[in-house]
Amino acid sequence: MKVNVVLVGIGGFGLIHLKEALEGKTKDLINITGVVEPYPQFCPKIDDVKARNIPIYATLDEFYKEHNADLAVLSTPIQFHAEQIMYCMKHGANVLCEKPLCADEKDIERISEVMKETGKFLLIGYQWSTSKTILKIKKDIMDGIYGELKSMKTLVLWPRNESYFKRTTGWAGKKYTTDGVAIFDSIANNACAHYLHNMFFVLGDTMGTSKMPVAIKAELARANNIENFDTSVINFTFDNGAEGYFIASHDTDKLIDPIFSYEFEKGKIVTPTNAQSGDLVGELNDGTVINYGKADPSTNCYKLEVAVRLCMGEKIDYCGLEGASVQTKVINYIQKNCEIYTFKNKHIVNGVMVVDGLTELLEDIYENPAIGKLTKFVKENG
C-alpha cells in the first residue's frame, strides 16, 4: 500500500520533504500525486520532479480539479496555514503542516470543527515534537520521574544576514499582510519556534497536548529593518508558580545552537553542550543519569514518515492541533500586548546586523533569568 501525497510548497523545508519523498527511506511508501508550487523554477529538484512525470500546479484549486491525496504536506507561509489545512481536509486529505499551526488564534476553533466534520488528522511539523528523544523525555515527565516543574529556560542565538530577511517581501519579518491578515513571522514563531514550543509540549498532560501558561511577559526588539521582532526574551508562568524563560536572537556576533535547562523537584533535564550536536541528559537528585540521545530526529523528515504511517493506520504519538495551539496562543498574546523596540548601537558584521554587547547580555539572562534587562539596549518603539 502506498500513500498518495501532494506536496504543497517545495521551497524551504518543503525542499527537504520533496527530497525525502523522492529519495529517502519513506519513498517506497509514497506516491506523489502532485506538487503545488507557484515558482517551481526555483526548486533545485524540479528536474527530478519533471523526469518522474509528477504533475506541477500553481494552486491547490488546480491540483484538486484533477487529483486527490491521502496526505497533504503544507510547507507554505504562516498566513496560509489555516485556510490550506481546512481546504485540504475538506477535499479528503489528512494534513502535515509545517509549524506553526496558524497565525491567528481565532482559526484554532475553525480548524478543530473541520477536523471533527472530516475525521482527518493534523500533524504540525515541530521537529522536536516528533523526535523519539523528546517523546521519551515527555513520557518520563508525565510518569512523575522528575516531579513537579520548578523552572525552565532556553537560549538560542542564531545570527541571520540581510538576505534572510529579504528572502520574501510578502511575509518575512511581518506582523500582518497588507489586507490585515495575521502573519506574526518572528524568531519565536519561525526559526526558533521548535524550541519555544518544546517548553510547553513536554509539560502536556498527554502525549499529544501542551501546557498553557497562566501569565506571559515579553521583551521584544529588532535590529534589522523589519516590522516584527528578531530578538525576544519571553517570560511565562505556569499554574504552580514555576517560571520559564525563552531567550532568542538573530542579532548577535556568536552562534549558540539551542541549549536548555528544565528543573524539577526531583532532578533536571539539560543540554550539556547543545541540542543540535549533544545528547540530552536527565540528572536526578539521587545521582541517576539518563542519556536520552540527540533531540533532532534521525532524519530531518522523520515527521513525514510519521504522517505517512499515520495514514497507513499505525498508532504513533504526534503533535496535532491541541499540542500546537498553545504556541499560537502565546505568540498572539505577546504580539497584541507587548511593545516592539528598536535596538541602538548596531552595525554590520560579516553581513549580520549585530547589536553591541547583546550576546553577553543574553548569555547573562540565561544564567540569571530576569525580565527587563534589554531596556538599556533599545530606543523608542516604532
pLDDT tens, per residue, the chain with 382 residues: 899 999 999 998 999 999 999 999 899 999 999 999 999 999 999 999 999 999 999 999 999 999 999 999 999 999 999 999 999 999 999 999 999 999 999 999 999 999 999 999 999 999 899 889 999 999 999 999 999 999 999 999 999 998 888 877 678 999 999 999 999 999 999 999 999 999 999 999 999 999 999 999 999 999 999 999 999 999 999 999 999 999 999 999 999 999 999 999 999 999 987 766 789 999 999 999 999 998 876 555 789 999 999 999 999 999 999 999 999 999 999 999 999 999 999 999 999 999 999 999 999 999 999 999 998 888 765 5
* Residue 376: per-residue pLDDT: 81
CA angle 65, 69, 72 (to 5 degrees): 105
Segments in the chain forming alpha helices (H): 13-23, 46-51, 60-66, 81-90, 106-118, 132-142, 162-165, 193-201, 302-311, 321-337, 358-367
* Residue 298: per-residue pLDDT: 54
Cβ proximity of 76 and 58 under 8 Å: no
Cβ proximity of 314 and 141 under 8 Å: no
Task: Return d(Cα 137, Cα 120) in angstroms, integer.
Answer: 28
Task: Return d(Cα 33, Cα 56) in angstroms, integer.
Answer: 9
Q: Which three cell numbers stand for residue 292?
A: 536520552
Task: Return d(Cα 268, Cα 26) in angstroms, integer.
Answer: 35
* Residue 299: per-residue pLDDT: 52
- 194-220 per-residue burial string, b: 16 or more CB within 10 A, e: under 16: bbbbbbbbbbbeebbbbbbbeebbbbb
Using the 8-state DSSP alphabet, how is residue 28 labeled?
A: G
Cβ proximity of 260 and 153 under 8 Å: yes
Q: Which domains does the chain have, with CATH numbers?
A: 3-128 (3.40.50.720), 131-296+317-379 (3.30.360.10)
- 116-131 per-residue burial string, b: 16 or more CB within 10 A, e: under 16: eebebbbbbbbbbbbb
